[in-house]
Amino acid sequence: MFGFFKNKYDNPALLEEISRTEEKWFVFLDKLEMRLQQLCSDALPELSAVFNEDSDPYKRSHSCMLSGLIGQVNQIRQKAIAAKEAHIIPFIYTSRITLPDLISSSGRKYHHRLYRFQMACFERHHQFEGKINEGIAKLRAVEGTI
């Protein structure tokens, strides 16, 4: 009657961009995780050796090295947070603005896809944060045998 159902929203470029952005985000976090794992695995024996060789009863050399390593791990964390705030969150908001209403069938499809993208990216970042915390816990747990 009014032609409401003739105009369907179709934006395959947006779906492709969502997939591409999600893939880039996952690859970026994988690279940061590899860097974190390499940092922790290389630092553990050295940190243990510093602990064993430190004659100071307060183990200041060990504490100083541990603080430096935790600082490097926190830089990795900040890099991920900055990337999420600069690329993922603005992409979600700008994409949501261009979509039709949620109550339309075509709008619902795109809103659901964008929601799945958002949840996948945030869940992946949450997993990354867990690995960061595990790495820090491993570094803090290193104490040599006296």
- pLDDT in the model for residue 11: 81
Instruction: Provide the mean pLDDT of the chain.
Output: 89
58 within domain boundaries: yes
Encode pLDDT of 52-91 as tens digits.
888 888 888 989 999 999 999 999 999 999 999 999 999 9
Which range marks the domain in which residue 88 is found? 19-141
Q: Is 96 part of a structural domain of the chain?
A: yes
C-alpha 113/C-alpha 14 separation (Å) is 10
Percent of the chain's residues with pLDDT above 70: 90
Domain contains 60: yes
Q: How many domains does the chain have?
A: 1
Question: CA 120 to CA 39: how far, in whole Å?
Answer: 26
Per the domain annotation, does 6 fall within a domain? Answer: no
pTM reported for the whole predicted model: 0.85
**77 within domain boundaries:** yes
The verdict on residue 125 lying in a domain is yes
Position with higher pLDDT, 106 vs 61: 61
- C-beta neighbour count of 52 within 10 angstroms: 13
